[in-house]
């Protein structure tokens, strides 16, 4: 989808299985670079622990990319969320709910428009 809109995406194989900070997808369009951590869920919430968010931020900062969470809700579709818009849960965890994604997140088309 990104390639069809002028972006060059690169799937980062090994995300979650390396000791170094990593994300699932990096994409650039010659002007902007985005680092996306992707999740696909069947429920209505996706949780992230503090360490996972820290690693996404570290990767994005060192790579020179904007960090984004992409969540695909089954039977609904993709929402993209800036890290600052994640909901802080109990303790040190964060989450994205369908409700918060619809409120603060953006669609794929808005992602392309926002970071062009």
Q: Above 70 in pLDDT, residue 17?
A: no
Q: Are 116 and 31 in contact (CB under 8 A)?
A: yes
* Dihedral (Cα; 45, 51, 57, 63), 10-degree rounding: -120
Residue 70 pLDDT? 96
* Residue of 15, 17, 40, 42 marked active site: 15
> At 99, which CATH number?
3.40.1350.10
Q: Above 70 in pLDDT, residue 84?
A: yes
- The pTM score is 0.89
- Structural domain for 13, as ranges: 3-114
Active site residue 42: no
Q: Above 60 in pLDDT, residue 26?
A: yes
Hey, what are 81's tokens? 């969320």
Selection from 110, 109, 115 nearest residue 27 by Cα: 115
pLDDT band, very low/low/confident/very high, at 79 (cuts 50, 70, 90): very high
Q: Give the total number of structural domains in the chain.
A: 1
């Amino acid at each position: 989808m990104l390639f069809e809109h002028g972006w060059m995406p690169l799937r980062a194989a090994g995300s979650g299985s390396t000791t170094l900070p990593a994300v699932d997808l990096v994409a650039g369009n010659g002007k902007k670079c985005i680092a996306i951590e992707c999740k696909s869920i069947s429920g209505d919430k996706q949780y992230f622990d503090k360490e996972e968010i820290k690693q996404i931020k570290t990767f994005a900062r060192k790579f020179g990319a904007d960090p984004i969470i992409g969540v695909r809700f089954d039977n609904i579709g993709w929402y993209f969320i800036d890290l600052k818009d994640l909901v802080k849960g109990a303790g040190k965890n964060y989450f994205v709910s369908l409700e918060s994604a619809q409120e603060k997140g953006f669609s794929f088309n808005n992602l392309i428009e926002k970071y062009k």
